[in-house]
Amino acid sequence: MNHLKPINRKAARVERATEPDVVALQRTGLPQLPHFPIGCSLVFSPGWEADRAGGTAGLCQPVERDLFDCHIGCYWPAQVPDQLNHAPDWTSKCAAAQKDWRKIDLIFP
Amino acid sequence: MTVWAAREHHRFEAAGKPFVYLVPSAAIFEIDETADAVLRALRERPRSREDLAGGVGVDAALAELLRVQAIGERDAPAAKTPKIIPLAPFPLTTMVLNVTNQCNLSCEYCYEYGEDKIVDTENGKQPKFMSEQTARDSVDFMLKESGTNPVAHVTFFGGETLLNFPVLQQTIVYARQRAAELGKQVDFSLTTNGTLLKPEVIEFLAENRVGVTISIDGPKEVQDKFRVFHNGTGSYDVVAPKIKELLKRHTSRPIGARVTLTSGKMDVKRIYKHLTEEIGFWEVGFAPVTTAPNRGHALSDRGYDEMLEQFRDLAYEFLEASVDNRHHGFSNVKETLAELHKGVSKAFPCGAGLGLLGVATDGDVALCHRFAGSDAHKLGTVRDGIDRDAQRAFLESHHIADKTDCSTCWARPLCSGGCYHEAHTRYGDTQRPNLHYCDWIRGWTDVCLTIYGELAVRNPAFLAQFDDERAKEPVS
């Protein structure tokens, strides 16, 4: 940020939490809203295709984000192991999905 | 067309620069001229982008202000304060043990014995002194309720705490032993009027690293006005030499003074100078007397204004010392700076009933030490544990989301309605926000924000001390 400088620790947290996502198609003119493409069929939003202002940043989700969104944040029957009963430690080596997704174990039914 | 409006915030200036304190997030940002101008225009009235002069700089400033929620769309519904009750069992951090409800002084303004008392300590059901068994039960209760916390804090309180010195000694020995068995540590502190600080007591406190807070009001004529023995004689001449002796011997922990401010001639700076320079205290904290408004010693509105002016003077003294990395012992400002640094935004004014509980002489557990022994504010007993239903009901009914008077106040992240005991004494109801000192709270918060901003610009390294320190206030 160029016009605001975080001073206390909460301000630094606010800044981190509102870090804009990578936006493929920049909108110009209006101030840019924080953009969190976490679309899902549970909410009737354009979701996966475009955000409410027509942005397409939500397209081409990285596979790891897609994976976590579906099997944790949503009931949608994702093609992932049953982490509640069968494979509780499935993601134990995956602290940050974006970085560690290669460490996710293969699980055989 | 989107129309932008300012959201809740408090603008202040420090070191010649503008800052904003955002509500309810409690984030503090330094803002540049452009952002300041945009915010000023939006404070006047909501405006569309066309209504705001300026070019791309204004666009960017708008975007950043929006990002941190300093502004928002005028037509967007106002965000409701989420009402989240902490999960039970919430670990107990501090247990205040009222080892006696008797006192050898008769301070006229005392909330425990004066006209505003809640509990009958003369003919009530509680024993006058806590037994060794109850103290042991309390320690077991504390260690159990502290959950996975590695350190538990025990504060001894009264009455005059040292009237029950034998039980205090035994409790420390027992707590150390029990904690060691459980792989925990216990930290001890106490509050005393200083009259019973005999050499062997001082020796014990020093050896056991017991934190000591002394209740004292200042130089002789100030101290002796209210802090008197039962026969009416002042206590200054008795306590001053004993406190000096304590300060000489007990150097393992900083020792603080805790001053009660009353109506009449108030001279915060002089009291501070006397207690630090002449007596030798490391820190001094001040608090206005808790009392019903009609008492002679109650602070009037004018009294609160006067206190604010004097606090401001002393706070600026603190600032200048801190800029030069010199110690200054005005603890009120330090406590508030610690909270501002973290950006605390409170759902409850204090930890009472949550991480802090008070224990009466009979082992009844109460909201805090000020309510110890009151059946109406009982949250269980040390033998049977915390009454979770009562605790939950209390938290449900005292959340900031339900204090409608506070909903438009920019100081609510820090104040959250203020002390339950003060509200109970003032209005007979712990749920009421303390509306009699709102102006004082806002004024004091503004002073502390200014000090914080000045330090952030002039000596940012000073603020790093607040990074890990938990905000722990002396019990008063």
- DSSP assignment string, B356-389: EEEE-TTSEEESSGGGTT-GGGEEEETTTEE-HH
Q: If pLDDT is split at 50, 70 and 90, which confidence band does B54 have?
A: confident
| Chain A residues near residue B7 by CB distance under 8 angstroms | none
- CB pair distance less than 8 Å for A8 and B66: no
Task: Point out the residue among A4, A13, A18 whose CB comes nearest to the CB of B29.
Answer: A4
pLDDT cut 90: percent of chain A above it: 15
Per-residue pLDDT at B135 exceeds 70? yes
Chain-chain contact of B67 with A18 (C-beta, under 8 angstroms) = yes
The two tokens of residue B117 are 């008392």
Residue B53, token pair as written in the block = 């002069």
CA distances from B348 to A47, A77, B400, B428 (A): 38, 41, 6, 18
**Averaged pLDDT of chain A:** 67
Q: Which residues in chain B are contacts of A4 at CB distance < 8 A?
A: 29-32, 35, 64-65, 68, 70
In chain B, the percentage of residues whose pLDDT exceeds 70 is: 98
Best of A3, A23, A27, A36 to disrupt the B interface (most B CBs within 10 Å) is: A3
CB atoms B345 and A10 under 8 Å = yes
CB contacts < 8 Å between A and B, how many? Answer: 84
pLDDT at B213 over 80: yes
Q: Are B31 and A3 an interchain contact pair (Cβ–Cβ within 8 Å)?
A: yes
Mean of per-residue pLDDT scores for chain B = 94
B9: helix, coil or strand? strand
Query: How many Å lie between the alpha carbon of A28 and the closest alpha carbon of chain B?
Result: 10
Q: Is the pLDDT of residue A45 over 50?
A: no
Report the alpha-carbon distance of residue B49 to residue B38 in Å, rounded.
Answer: 10
Which residue from B318, B351, B298 is spatially nearest to B475, judged by alpha carbons? Answer: B351
Question: For residues B143 and B182, is the Cβ–Cβ distance under 8 A?
Answer: yes
Of residues B60, B67, B341, nearest to A34 (C-beta): B67
Contacts of B25 in chain A (CB under 8 A): 10, 14
Chain-chain contact of A11 with B28 (C-beta, under 8 angstroms): yes
Cα separation, A103 vs A85, in Å, equals: 20
CA B113, B118, B121, B126 torsion-angle sign: negative
Q: How far is B218 from chain A (nearest CA, A)?
A: 35
Query: What's the farthest any 2 CA atoms get from each other in chain A?
Result: 54
Residues of A in contact with B341 (CB under 8 A): 8-9
Domain B94-385: homologous superfamily in CATH: Aldolase class I (3.20.20.70)
Nearest Cα to Cα of residue B95 among B129, B134, B121: B134
> What positions of A carry a catalytic annotation?
66
Substitution target from B67, B345, B448 for chain A, most A beta carbons within 10 A: B67
- Interchain proximity A4–B27, CB inside 8 Å: no
**Minimal C-alpha gap between A37 and chain B (Å):** 16
**What is the pLDDT, as a whole number, of residue A70?**
56
Give yes or no for a contact between B452 and B28, defined as CB atoms under 8 angstroms apart: yes
The partner residue sitting opposite B27, judged by closest CB among A10, A32, A34, is A10
What is the structure's pLDDT at B113? 81
Chain A residues whose C-beta sits inside 8 Å of any chain B C-beta: 1-11, 13-15, 18, 20, 29-34
Strand, helix or coil at B134? helix
pLDDT band at B235 (very low <50, low <70, confident <90, very high): very high
Which is more confident, B253 or A70? B253
Highest average pLDDT, of A26-30, A51-55, B366-370, comes from B366-370
Enumerate the residues of chain B whose CB falls inside 8 A of the CB of residue A19: none
Tokens representing residue B344 in the block: 């605390």
Q: Which of B376, B349, B297 is nearest to B110 (CA)?
A: B297
Cβ contact A8–B453 (<8 Å): no
Q: Please report, for chain B, the start and end positions of each structural domain, with discontinuous segments joined by +.
A: 3-73, 94-385
ipTM score assigned to the predicted complex: 0.90
* A109 prior amide bond cis, ω within 30: no
Cα–Cα distance for residue pair B467/A15, rounded to 1 Å: 18
For residue A13, which residues of chain B lie inside 8 Å, CB to CB? 27, 343
Say yes or no for a CB contact (<8 Å) between A5 and B29: yes
Instruction: Indicate whether B75 pLDDT > 80.
Output: yes
Write down the pLDDT at residue B396.
95
Contacts of B394 (CB under 8 A, 6+ apart): B353, B367, B379
Nearest CB to A3; choose among B35, B49, B453: B35
Which residue in the set A1, A3, A9 is minimally distant from B343, CB to CB?
A9
Residues in chain B: 476
Distance CA B49, CA B70 (A): 16
Query: What are the beta bridge partners of residue B17?
Result: B14
Q: Cβ contact (<8 Å) for A11 and B62?
A: no
Tell me the average pLDDT across A23-49.
48
> With an 8 Å Cβ cutoff, are A11 and B27 in contact?
yes
